[in-house]
A and B are shown apart, each in its own frame.
Chain A
Amino acid sequence: MKIHISNGRLIDPKNDIDACTDLYVAAGRIAGIGNKPDGFTADQTIDATDLIVCPGLVDLSARMREPGSEYRATLKSELRAAAAGGVTSLSCPPDTEPVLDEPGLVEMLRYRAKQLELAHVYPLGALTRQLKGEQLTEMAELTEAGCAGFSQADTAITDTRVLWRAMQYAATFGYTVWLRPEEPYLAKDGVAHDGEIAARLGLKGIPVAAEALAIASILRIGRDTGAKIHLSRLSTAEAVDLVREAKKQGVMVSCDVSINHLHLTEHDIGFFDANCHLRPPLRSQRDREALCSGLADGTIDAICSDHAPVDDDAKLLPFAEAEPGATGLELLLPLTLKWAGENRVSLIDAIARITHLPASILGITAGELGINTAADICMFDPERYWLVSPATLLSQGKNTPFVGSELAGKVQYTMLNGHLVHGL
């Protein structure tokens, strides 16, 4: 199958291309940029007039709810949502049921995803068995089964010695350790930022110190163990400062921020909106601004959707009892564009943060459109507004604080290995 993508504006941050030029796809790979390859006859032409043609997006945190919670979302429903959102590679945290701590489970997940051919799925293996923070998993075996790194999902390790050993062991093989920094005792039972809103609404708070303390210890242990560290979903200004300083000192650390934390604050909880019950909690306006500027200056490497579909019943509860999480795969692109617009960041720099930069954190070749790389392509209309609503979202999770918002940036076509997996 040979495809000619014509008249689009090609943006490929990895190769520093931003130009109106055509793209040629053959045998599932990029065959030519600008100039038609010799002997190329297109079987199909996609008219990309007024569209931006960029690498398929790479999402560092998307929960598929499989295995274990198929009643609320399945690999199929969520990978369709990924395709509709232009996401072609995604990594999923290990907090499934059962936990991804056995090579067999990882192989099964990879196999099921491969059968569906909607997006490339890179599972993160559990860093400790059952995520209990006691016993290490078979990290080498899990890597052979297809794990892209090791994570504790939302369950922090309380025993610092186990964390030390886990990072030492991961460093032995050069694996990346993904941690969402949160000191578990300070965060215990907390459901909101420990600030003005929590004080007013009578919600249990999670202090900024919980994130700062965790980052300080992770970075310190990282220095001694030599482990590669990825910090997931920063939420505070102090965290951004700590990472900026560590990077200056040459520590091997990367980090991401979720689309929700770039745009929302504790005030969005309003009158107990359970869709704003997120992990980490939405913080103050000052924190939000620091995340936005930290992302712009490169301290924060990537944006993730933090996709977590939750069924209605689990949200129709008092705020603290409602399950945390929001659907996000289909909002990754529009909310990245919104951040770029509000912070005067160029499109090419914005797209970098959801393509090749997260790909390099995952250690995969993706998020670029170089000659002979896989033809994973996202084509979107940056000017087209759409209404976020249960009807427009393909994900089985309809829960997001952005329901009712109109956002600019609609994906028209998504291509995976040269096949259209989404087309309007």
Chain B
Amino acid sequence: MKESENVEHAHIKFSTQIIKRLGEELNPSVDQSILELVKNSFDADAKFCTVTLTNITKPGGTIEIHDDGDGMDADGIKNGWLVLGQSSKSIGKRSRTLQRITAGSKGLGRLASLRMGQICGLQSTPFDQLKKQFSLIIDWEKFDNAEIVEDVDLPITIDNSDTEFKQGARITIQNLKYGITERDVKKIARGLILLADPFGVDPNAFKPTLKSAEFKTMEELVSKRYFDDADFHLFASVDANGTGEASIKDYRGQVLYKASHADLIGKLKNTIYDCPPMTFDLWAFLLNSTTFSTRTNTLAEIKEWLAEFGGVHLYENTLRVNPYGNQGNDWLDMNLSRARNPEERPSTNTSIGVVRIPNSEGLLSQKTDRSGFIENDVFHEIKRFCQDALDWMAKRRLEQAEVRRQKDKSATSSKARATKEAVNTAIELVSDEGQKEELKKVIDAYEKAHEKEVKVLRSEVQLYRTLSTAGITAATFSHESAGSPIKVITISTQSLEGRIKQKVSQEDYQSFFAKRIDSIKNSIKSLAVLGSATLKLLAHEKRRPVRLNIHTVIDDIVNTFDPFLSGRNITIEKDFLPGNPYLRGTEASVESIITNLLNNSIVAFENVKTQNRHIRIRTTLIENVLTIAVADNGPGIKDIDVKDIWLPGQTTNPNGTGLGLTIVRDAVTDLGGITGVNAQSDLGGAEIIVELPIIGIEQ
């Protein structure tokens, strides 16, 4: 460096506005702000930490947080407590005496908390200098009036005494900017209680308290531990190798089911759970009066407890992480799964759970505003493991439900027999002979009517079952035939056609081959329809409620049937109203209606020698009700009472199932509509009328 040069030293300085901004923008809620300070006490090895709220309902109140932790000297205050944004707690660091994994709150969260009031005071006595007390007062107004942060002087006063102070720290936040509502106090109480895993059994666990009535009520509530009343207890864990396992116990603690890693992981074979070792407990309750009638605790008590603490809480390094398990938080999508499949799935209102990650090894990090973890791969793995365990539990419970249903079924018939005997015994006890006879007659009549009803239902079920089997078989064969024989015939014919055309003149082809080749091609088309029509009916998406354009669905069906209909010399007339009416429903239901009505007409034509076979599908609209009328020029409804045509098994066709119109009626009912019939329409044959409420018309 040349001697003539001078050097000026400069630093970046921060405007006091930054403090204001950070303080305000990082302040998520009063309960979270207080929890931030309480976590500092945890890190300082405090066993007790008391939060006192004074005159807080209006602005101007005071919050005090007092602990018996390690405390700080002037150096600790200057180079630790006052340094914002720096975390002196590096990953995996453990506390001095209790070896706690420190929560490692960044200084920024603390800033937000401390700025809740106008003035913030700190008094601290370190564990190794018990005769000294270090005090500091921060008046935030001074910052508001200064330009840069360093301009504000913060003197630390030191009190020397002959007697010992109690070790620990006391933070007072005075002259609060806002009032704290009753609801907030409840949230603070809940947050403090849940912070250090009250569900566990560790007697040395950190126990922060709040001096308030709300806290006492809630503390009593949490201490009730209704876990023994849970109907199922799921316990799942992941070990250090990423291998999971799970078990389900009943309320007596007996193991019902056990799952290995492979059972849990499902289709993602040979994968592990790429997360630190963890456990997941979930207690699921069947909240109905039957299950609770024999227990000591009442349904209402459990419901209140679950309403307050239900949900799945997450504890990282023994401290609870907000907001998992908060009221309204459903991070495992339990309520969604339950809505999709309500049977045997717990919701956040009917279960309570705890995920414990004893040492997260720094693999998880919380967002600065304390609204949960940053959703990295490790977090997703934890979530996946919990959801796999829940899925597995749901499957096992469904299995149990199925067994129960079978049992109920057989129990019902023996129950019916027993009831009948009881009725007969009761009638025998009637002394008046005339009355006795009368009662017997009435019971007899009732029984006959009931039997008839059961018989109808039974035959309906039988028919549905038979038809389902026929459908499954048809689908299998459709797949096979489409896959190979039809393909072989199609391609062979095409090849044949090409080769013949090469070998013979066009004239010869036309006179000797064209007609025969065309016949094969047409037959293949009709044959292919049989298969594809069956398979199309079974398409998965058709059973999903969507916006359905009715005319489009009808067009599709008519197109599918077309080769088959023209083969039978049947013409279809579509007499549609302008536009395309739509409703919300499954394509399968509208398809069932139209397909069965077409089938009915096709069968009707077989029985008579109708020339110019004709089917008309007409749509009309009155207000928001769409009428679909399917009429044909067949023989009309004969040899059967018009009102009986909707009943299952009622048919005049010896080869028919008698189920077509029953399905039509059921499908129409599902769509909120009604059915009607005209035994003889203007076309001469039957007309089936379907009325469906629609949402609108697409032009």
Q: Do A and B bind each other?
A: no
Hey, which bits of chain B sit against chain A, CB under 8 A? Answer: none
Hey, which bits of chain A sit against chain B, CB under 8 A? Answer: none
